[in-house]
A = this chain, B = another copy of it.
Amino acid sequence: MPRSRPTLIDVARAAGVSRSTASRAINGQPSVAPDVRARVLQAVAALGYHPDSAARALASGRVDVIDLVVVEQDLATFGANPFYGRVTAGLLAALDGTGVQMRLHVTPARTASRVLDDVAQSGSLGTLLVNVPAALARRFHRRYRRVVSLGRFAPTVPYSESDNARGAALAVRHLASAGRRTIAFIDGPPWNPCAGQRHAGYLGTMAEAGLRPMWTHGNFRRQGGYDGTLRLLQQRPDLDAIVAACDMTATGAIQALVATGRRVPDDVAVVGFDDSVLAALTTPPLTSVRQPVEEMTTLAVRDLLQGRVHDGWHQSFPTSLTVRASSRPT
């Protein structure tokens, strides 16, 4: 039975100083003599001391935690969407080496308000909001300022976004310049502003190019892409390109096209959005608008940790086009 974890007292004793001094040395406060600090840190290393986070939290009122709040209908949907994996990875990257932990909350919209209330009370270092509707985000932000929303859900709440409109524009231009003329769009869910921005980008660029737009609604899922494509084909059996609001939707589109006897990209080109892991896995591999989800998250969390997020804070990342076989010229 090894003796229990060393505490601050053990460190102080070993270094021949008081608890207070040991604490100050460990926390890097300036008012500590260099040699004393060295002795303390040496004792820390020798004893293998790790500060007790519970005690630290109790005494300081701060908790070394970043909250990630995801509004999603159920856990299965959460687990199946590669987007969240990227967010998690980006968040953890920002936490690396800081000793800060991630706390993950996945909640359907109807209980989100209670979850957010709890989070607001918990005194964490910051909260990243994903898919949190505007009203809830605003309410949360009113009583808790260290927040960033992934995507511009509410203009007054700090947000980190990618240039969705321009991403959609890149997709349309790419297709148009390859000679595609009947370019349709499959939207995301109506409450999602990112989808809205992509939609707007699509419409604007189609107008610029003098092409007639046509679109249908979707839901950021495979089935939405499949069904949406069938609807579009009914309307225009001769369409020659589809831009989807996300990769999952695009995979559904490809399946529907193949199921109706069309070849991708020979008959119809398909472009997705996200450039997630899925894009590389489909057959044919999917051309997709790259969105730097990891970076958007990492940098947001980093600013959160350093207390640099204030009202009006926001950042925007460029999108780019990753061309794969699904849109190659025939």
Which A residues form the contact surface with B (CB < 8 A)?
Answer: 2, 5, 50, 52-55, 57-58, 63, 75-76, 78-82, 84-90, 92-93, 101-104, 106, 118, 121, 143, 222, 248, 251-252, 254-255, 258, 264, 276-278, 280-285, 294
Do B283 and A281 touch (CB < 8 A)? no
Do A54 and B50 touch (CB < 8 A)? no
Quick one: given A54-B57, A58-B54, are A251 and B86 in contact (CB under 8 Å)? no
Do A85 and B89 touch (CB < 8 A)? no
Q: Which residues of B contact A88 (CB under 8 A)?
A: 78-79, 88, 104
Do B121 and A5 touch (CB < 8 A)? yes
Do A282 and B280 touch (CB < 8 A)? no
Q: How far is the CB of A99 from chain B (nearest CB, A)?
A: 10
**This chain: copies in complex:** 2
Q: Which residues of B contact A254 (CB under 8 A)?
A: 283
Do B79 and A280 touch (CB < 8 A)? no
Which of B54, B104, B284, B294 is close to A63, meaning CB atoms less than 8 Å apart? B54
A248 and B282 alpha carbons, distance in the complex (Å): 10
Q: Which residues of B contact A102 (CB under 8 A)?
A: 103-104
Q: Which residues of B contact A87 (CB under 8 A)?
A: 79
Do A281 and B280 touch (CB < 8 A)? no
Do A81 and B85 touch (CB < 8 A)? yes
Which of B75, B101, B281, B283 is close to A248, meaning CB atoms less than 8 Å apart? B281
Quick one: given A85-B85, A283-B255, A283-B282, are A121 and B50 in contact (CB under 8 Å)? yes
Q: Using A88-B88, A251-B281 as known contacts, list a sample of 8 further A-B pairs with CB atoms less than 8 Å apart, ordered by residue number in A.
A: A50-B118, A54-B63, A78-B92, A79-B88, A85-B85, A251-B283, A254-B283, A258-B284
Quick one: given A82-B80, A82-B82, are A280 and B222 in contact (CB under 8 Å)? yes
A307 and B103 alpha carbons, distance in the complex (Å): 23
Q: Which residues of B contact A84 (CB under 8 A)?
A: 85
**Residue of A54, A63, A90, A252 ringed by the most chain B CB atoms within 10 A:** A54
Q: Which residues of B contact A121 (CB under 8 A)?
A: 5, 50
A87 and B85 alpha carbons, distance in the complex (Å): 12
A277 and B276 alpha carbons, distance in the complex (Å): 13
Which of B55, B63, B78, B281 is close to A58, meaning CB atoms less than 8 Å apart? B55
Which of B80, B106, B248, B252 is close to A92, meaning CB atoms less than 8 Å apart? B106
A-B CB proximity, top 7 nearest:
A79-B89, A54-B57, A80-B277, A79-B85, A251-B281, A75-B89, A54-B58
